A and B are shown apart, each in its own frame.
Chain A
Amino acid sequence: METLPLSGIRIIEPGQVWALPYAIAPLAMYGAEVIKVESTVRPDSSRGGPQPDNQVEGDAWNHGGAYHEVNRNKLGIALNLNTQRGKDLFKELVSVSDVVAQNFPPRVMRNFGLDYPELKKVKPDIIVLDSTAYGSTGPWQNYIGYGSSIQAVTGLTYLTGYEDGGPVQGGILYNDILGALTATYAILLAIAHRERTGEGQWIDLSQYQAGVVQLGEAFMDYTMNERIPTRRGNSHPNFAPYGLYPCSGDDSWVAITITSDAEWMNFKRAVGEKWVDDVDLESTEGRLHHREKLDASIGKWTSSRDKHEVMRQLQTAGVACGAVNNTREITTDPHLSDRDFFRISNHPAPIGPRPHAAPLFNLMGVQLPPDRLAPTLGQHNRHVLCDILGYSKEEYQELEEARVIGHIPDNQGVTPPPDPEALLRMGFLAEYDRDYKKRLGIYPGELEEKKEQ
């Protein structure tokens, strides 16, 4: 089997919550040896949820779904960086590693004496990525921000929403994930740079900047025309029809978008009703001019139809169309299933088998090994210290007794799981699907059946 692109690269990840671990996840899948550094004092806060079946059992801090989504294929150690020996151990690890990627606010690693200038002394060609809300320099460098705050400063919130309404926050973790995808690229670039020149370097990633660069054309409108772009709902300035239309069933919608005259002719043929025959509608200009009337007619046509049926019919005719899916529909989507996008990992009880997403870039022809499960807290303390750093059994035990390393978090509580029935009543959920395991094909009994076939 061909070696993986990142085999032999060792990455130290003192990362927390989702953004940074998410960035490193595909690198681990593609062969990097990733050592996640947590501490028993403050374990990764993503360990808590969602708990399998909303049941808090035993070492619940090892059961959280978000933790498993982003930390598969990594090694894990729990190291107390508040102690001098913990800091020394961290530096020892850096001296045999290639990349350190972290997302604490800038002052944290500086205060630990573990920022880039210090780590470079230990390993001259080390690559260090600091991912922060606003960047590690500048007047706002110490300001804090989460995904939702970042969405607001980048301009995305202002630009999202209905034509007649105020700004809307879309997907509160969106900018965390965007920051993560950006960090993945930055690290790969730095590895390429080192491969070519032998040099390490410091990457200063600002999630604020990572958001603004995805709104380039909105910025250009300001820079060219001194005009402040604003919200326009789902509509498109150049094309019509372009929108979401109601379908049969509760809160059920379909996207129909026509971006060429040829597509309009396809739509016309597929619908085959009198209202689409208007010659005025055969040009983009005409359709834009009659946008409102057209939207009303299309809405009337879709309202008695099933969204997936509309999608099938229009796509077959050559029209860009898609059902508005919820998370149940996505995780059971036949196309994503054809592509094996959600892959089942067999966690031990009480988690059991669960689907997790594949990397977003697929090197076709490179066979990925099966996923290794995310580490329990401190699971690889011994492996990392004894096998990688060469500590003796006695030295290891001593470090454990001195609580420099550990397995059990000081605070064992996890956020209490939500009450799905109450959330449903209050309108926060579309549905609470008690048969979800069956639908996802992760019922223990069902898996065995599949194996037998």
Chain B
Amino acid sequence: MSGSALQGVKVIDLTHHIAGPYCTKLLADFGADVIKVERPDGGDSARRLGPFPEDIPHPEKSGLFLYLNTNKRGITLNLKDPKGRAALLDLVRDADILVESFSPRVMPSLGLDYQTLKQINPSLVMTSISSFGQTGRYRDYRATELVLYALGGMAYITGEYHREPVKHGYNQAQYLGGMAAASGTVAALLQRWRGGVGHQVDVSILECVCSTLFSTVLDYTYTGMVSRRQPMEGSSLRYPAQTKEGYILPTPGVMGDWETYAEMAAVPELHDPKFDTPAGRQVHSDEVDSLLKSKWLERTAQEWFHHAQEWRFPFAPVQTMADIAESPQLRERGFFVEFPHPAVGTLKYPGAPFQMSESPGRNGQQVRAAPLLGEHNEEVFSSLGYSPQAVAGLCKQNPVPSPISGEG
């Protein structure tokens, strides 16, 4: 084992909110040295978004911010100030990667476009994450999570037939963008390591949302069929069903046959030739639904889950965050990480999406909590040879956080 995958890789992180910080979290959690640059007057906008302990807003206590910024060091710089900009250029000089998530016109307006940065550091990889991408007619449009779910087509197919479309819970689009950007960043880094030059990586969150539609798009481009929110009738096996405790997704999957399904559920009335085919079950869906509906109420979701899995049916419990926190599978795999933070104390956080046998990253024991605003100013700038006075002048903090504004 020779350290984690990205050990020794230096990243300058100009991102804020969710997509960009998630990208740099993925880099930092697997070993990169990430320096997060925040504005002195309040820092990353995610610091003002909840959840907060006891719902009391505090810039060092945002659960969103604390989760997304593990393993990074944090400094403050005003990029609109010439001194701040010059300090950033000093940092860029020996960095491998710069990640930013501003609206595409911002970096050029700060005199920090890729061409300028490349003159200082020709091998720099610059990853730009934005809602619509660096090109195209909507480039400068504004977006939020809901707008991206609308334009990206995911909203239209989600929800109940007779009601308005609904988006996935929380901020899936932003996370997808962060994940795609992390891949693009490492691909560009490999390009450079393997004899190429640095490149700018362009990631559009909208395109990430579109991509999750997958076969629904192909239904149109191969056959002309346009999908929508589905009617519930006759398809209850595809929807969460209420059990004695919690919901279960009672899907028969593709492997199991109906006879076995009926036997597994222990509903003898379902052993009827009229239910044997999917078409038959569709026609008699009311009967199927009412027979099963009362059956599901006999056990809890977790009980049905294990029972059906023994029969090789891919049932799944509709889990809450409490179920997940207590999940024996996640616990045994060492998924969760616990570490102290000066403002919120020791808390349990989700760990990594995958385990690497030789690149454990900085998960497990070695997690560094998210940085306090400007926590590493002195450490980072003194390593660049700045005097304490210069550091103090550069990183002056505004003690009053600015009010909540702007999601993206």
Contacts and interface: CB of A to CB of B under 8 A. Distances in A.
Contact of B213 (A158, A330, A362, A437): A330
B150 A253 contact: yes
Given A171-B212, A244-B164, A259-B407, A156 B172 contact: yes
A221 interface: yes
Interface in A426-446: 426-437, 440, 442
B396 to A, nearest CB: 25
B210 A357 contact: yes
B200 A228 contact: no
A190 B50 contact: no
Contact of A360 (B180, B186, B200, B404): B180
A174 interface: yes
Nearest to B127: A361
Given A53-B222, A320-B142, A338-B136, A197 B2 contact: yes
B213 A327 contact: yes
B226 interface: yes
A303 interface: no
A190 to B, nearest CB: 6
Interface string B201-222: 1111011101111111111111
A246 interface: yes
B138 A335 contact: yes
Given A209-B354, A330-B153, A336-B207, A244 B165 contact: yes
Interface stretch (A78-86, A89-97, A229-237): A229-237
A384 to B, nearest CB: 24
Contact of B356 (A203, A219, A326, A366): A203
A145 B154 CA distance: 22
B214 A176 contact: yes
A51 B50 contact: no
A105 B320 CA distance: 25
Given A166-B240, A206-B333, A436-B224, A145 B314 contact: yes
B215 A284 contact: no
Given A50-B215, A210-B354, A328-B226, A157 B240 contact: yes
B330 A212 contact: yes
A74 interface: no
Interface stretch (B3-11, B87-95, B263-271): B3-11
Interface string B344-372: 10011111111111110000000000000
B260 interface: no
Interface string A173-212: 1101110011111101111110111011111111011101
A296 interface: no
A221 B50 contact: yes
A186 B355 CA distance: 9
The 6 closest A-B pairs by CB, nearest first: A361-B184, A159-B169, A220-B63, A149-B316, A436-B224, A5-B191
29 contacts: A22-B214, A51-B222, A51-B223, A137-B332, A144-B255, A144-B313, A144-B314, A145-B314, A154-B324, A160-B167, A178-B179, A185-B183, A193-B359, A196-B5, A203-B357, A214-B170, A215-B170, A229-B321, A237-B50, A244-B165, A321-B142, A330-B152, A331-B217, A339-B207, A357-B217, A418-B225, A429-B228, A430-B228, A435-B224
Given A66-B218, A217-B50, 10 more contacts: A30-B187, A149-B251, A184-B183, A202-B356, A204-B355, A206-B354, A220-B349, A238-B49, A357-B211, A431-B226
